[in-house]
Structure 1
Amino acid sequence: MPAVERTGPVHTPAAHEEHTVHHGCTRLRGVAAVLASASLLLSAACAADDGGSTGTGGSPTPPASSASAPAASPSPSADLPPAKGSVEVVSTLTKDLDSPWGLAPLPGGDLLVASRDEATITRIDGTSGRKTELGTVPGVSPAGEGGLLGLAVAPTYGADHLVYAYFTTESDNRVARLQYDESKPAGQQLGAPDTILRGIPKGTVHNGGRIAFGPDRMLYAGTGETGDTGLAQDEKSLAGKILRMTPDGEPVHGNPSADSVVYSWGHRNVQGLAWDAEKRLWASEFGQDTWDELNLIEPGKNYGWPEVEGEKGEPGYVDPVAVWKTSEASPSGIAYAKGSIWMASLRGERLWRIPLSGSADKEPLAAPQAFLEGTYGRLRTVAAAGGGRLWLVTSNTDGRGTPKPGDDRILLLKVR
């Protein structure tokens, strides 16, 4: 039986995403360098403010000078985040959401949220939390870990009102764009899906689903290997990959192969995408029985699955920047704010902070730090809200959590 998202401390070898609880510490690369520079970290200047993409296809990104791939190894930032951060829950924006998955901030501060199982897109007022259903995306076939997943707002949204969605059909996973017409009645505001990429393999599990526009204004998608591990190493398959395409779904100049949207491979199930202030791409990924991962993504690189899980130092494969015991994470969405990557965890039921140095050989800057452990249950999606704030979406109504009254909800956090 193929793997499923981890739900609790039950070890089922055939269901690779359920594990016994481990009590090991989070591991990270470059610990010695971190300890040697501890005094520097403690005296660092104020944390860098929000930068890069929201990581969830949120507010339109600024124009880039070209459509080439973002640089992967920039010089370090002048201002470094503190070794230890903080999280304050400012408010609960809205409650009673059904299987929320994708989240996309709109210009002006409102949010779009996708219901995985209902296949609906709902607008959430960013101040009052009032919900307005835009409509249902036709052709979505929810089952297992599939359904209506990631959302992204086009960088040209102010002119064309295009919203992008990643979803599962009866035959595949695909990416489509829909026009959002606010002049129509509620429930009828979504135009017909215009599919820009089809043929992404689907499965009961490991459908990936996160999409986001990068600083280069290109669309990125994280996919899963559907439980068929060999697809991750098959460069001709769209499964187990990070994809990079134009807003029309075409390959981009600077991709590893000129005629392919494949950007990186060897992934098990990519669930989060975000860019930091240096325009470097980060991705969170489900491991199997041992290590979950945060990876710094470079074009044309192989991230190892299924040959490697976690840090192995094997030639030809890129090691993750940080890894977690599977009981501590089951990572989903990520976002960048205040000089750190923030990672939502499903089975781990906590929000991880990973402070960054801005230098590829010195990441992360300090040990990852956990917040909100067990407070709100499973955490699915996180998005930058500007001004050192984050939107955080819970995931307790997806069939694997234990819903409480009011679940699921969107929280507003202040972080540093």
Structure 2
Amino acid sequence: MVHTVTARPTIRTVSLLGALVLLSACGTPEGETTGAGESAPPAGASDLGQPEDVATDLEVPWGIAFLPDGSALVAERDSADVVRVEDDGTVGDAGTVPEVSPSGEGGLLGLAVDPGFPEEPYVYAYYTTDSDNRISRLEYDPDGGGLGEPEVILDGIPSASTHNGGRIGFGPDGLLYAGTGDAGNPEDSQDTDSLGGKILRLTTGGDPAPDNPFGNFVYSYGHRNVQGLAWDADGSLYATEFGQNRLDEVNLVEPGGNYGWPEVEGTGGGDEYVDPLVTWTTAEASPSGAAVAGGSLWVAGLRGERLWEVPLTGDGGVGEPVAHLEGEYGRLRTVVATPDGDGLWLGTSNRDGRGEPGDGDDRILRLPLE
């Protein structure tokens, strides 16, 4: 049975970072590319090695999920194809997810590989259909059989041309988490009976996690559009969230936490809301994918066209964010840590209708952490 919230989380001490610049033009959080000025990174920033192409000429790569052998499955948003990218850059077809209906920001979005793979030979996909967003699991044979037919484990997630969320990932608890969007209905974000504007937590069979705070799929609420989920070594969950006209966010996610949307954008909503750890103006970020590696949280920026590094202090706090690769590769959609933890794979999103594709776009880059 679904329960409504009766208790409110306490407010956290926060670090409000970045310039709080009000933008005069309204728009979606994945708005048109702008040319922001570059700034030198402060002392102590991570030293990224020389980026190199892993794969090129992809069609809006959205989800990237590593397999145990070091290759990765990559979801192409608009084609609904999944490709397998080897560490040496070889690209092969893995299959197509049926019933995907790409429109606007929707389509084939997040991917996750079962943590028990290959004994549990499943890949999970979050995607948009004609009627909703849903999560399915598909059996995957890496030795030539490709993807099997999808088994829907959760449907009815609100969909629209914008704010579909779409990131999924397995937490240290072995449960599947999903970031959803408000699908243009902000009031859904405060409704714990709705799947929109939430972080959801479920079992691999499609049941709500047994200890979820409201007795349903909802893990946290009051979100606008979550497209990044990442865990640190202590098991803390960080989520990125698109703001509306003012402030994008990085949140430290608490079970049952209310993150304020649409009542609050950024900090200062009062004790019933959890303040973000980090805020940026929407021109600086429009944050999508997130990953933890090398002691930092890494956030891919779409409109901001940069890779943000947020140092983690190990006690739930953060240091000063540092911008990398600003304006060098256009819109950045997805970042994932390599299985050995020594680097990142970074996917561009210049063919999504809002970017300016160059030769080889879209691409996946390898970034060593030195």
- Check whether TM > 0.5: yes
Query: Which residue number in structure 2 is paired with residue 285 of structure 1?
Result: 241
C-alpha RMSD over aligned residues: 2.3
Query: Take 1:193 and 1:90, find their aligned partners in 2: how far apart are those partners?
Result: 35
Q: How big is each residue's C-alpha offset from its partner over 1:272-323, in whole Å with a ceiling of 9 and x where there is no partner? A: 0000011000000000111000000000010000000011151200000000
Find out whether 1:205 has 2:205 as its counterpart: no
- Find 2:68's aligned residue among 92, 99, 107: 107
Query: Which residue number in structure 2 is paired with residue 144 of structure 1?
Result: 104
Q: Is the 8 A contact 2:182 2:225 kept in 1?
A: yes
Q: Is the 8 A contact 2:179 2:228 kept in 1?
A: yes
Query: Take 2:119 and 2:134, find their aligned partners in 1: how far apart are those partners?
Result: 24
Output the amino acid matched with 2:160: G
Query: Which residue number in structure 1 is paired with residue 329 of structure 2?
Result: 376
Superposition deviation, residue 157 in structure 1: 1.1
Query: Which residue number in structure 1 is paired with residue 113 of structure 2?
Result: 153
Query: Which residue number in structure 1 is paired with residue 260 of structure 2?
Result: 304
- Map 1:50-199 onto structure 2 (within 5 A): 83-126=44-87, 128-184=88-144, 189-199=146-156
Find out whether 1:236 has 2:193 as its counterpart: yes
- Map 1:364-403 onto structure 2 (within 5 A): 364=318, 366-385=319-338, 386-403=340-357
Query: Take 2:138 and 2:355, find their aligned partners in 1: how far apart are those partners?
Result: 31
Q: Residues 265 and 409 (structure 1 numbering): CA distance in 2 closer, same or farther, change over 3 Å?
A: same
Query: Which residue number in structure 2 is paired with residue 359 of structure 1?
Result: 315
Give the unaligned 5+ runs of structure 1: 1-8, 27-41, 43-81
Q: Residues 157 and 408 (structure 1 numbering): CA distance in 2 closer, same or farther, change over 3 Å?
A: same
Give the unaligned 5+ runs of structure 2: 1-21
SS state of the match for residue 137, structure 2?
Answer: strand
Query: Which residue number in structure 1 is paired with residue 279 of structure 2?
Result: 323
Q: Is the 8 A contact 1:224 1:267 kept in 2?
A: yes
Aligned residues, how many? Answer: 346
- Map 1:12-31 onto structure 2 (within 5 A): 12-13=25-26, 18=31
Output the amino acid matched with 2:359: P
Percent of residue pairs bearing the same amino acid type:
55
TM-score if structure 1 supplies the norm length? 0.79
Output the amino acid matched with 1:319: D
Query: Which residue number in structure 2 is paired with residue 46 of structure 1?
Result: none
Q: Is the 8 A contact 2:260 2:269 kept in 1?
A: no
Q: Is the 8 A contact 2:189 2:198 kept in 1?
A: yes
Output the amino acid matched with 2:81: T
Q: How big is each residue's C-alpha offset from its partner over 1:217-250, in whole Å with a ceiling of 9 and x where there is no partner? A: 0000000000111010011000000000011111
Output the amino acid matched with 2:120: D
TM-score if structure 2 supplies the norm length? 0.89
Q: Is the 8 A contact 2:52 2:366 kept in 1?
A: yes
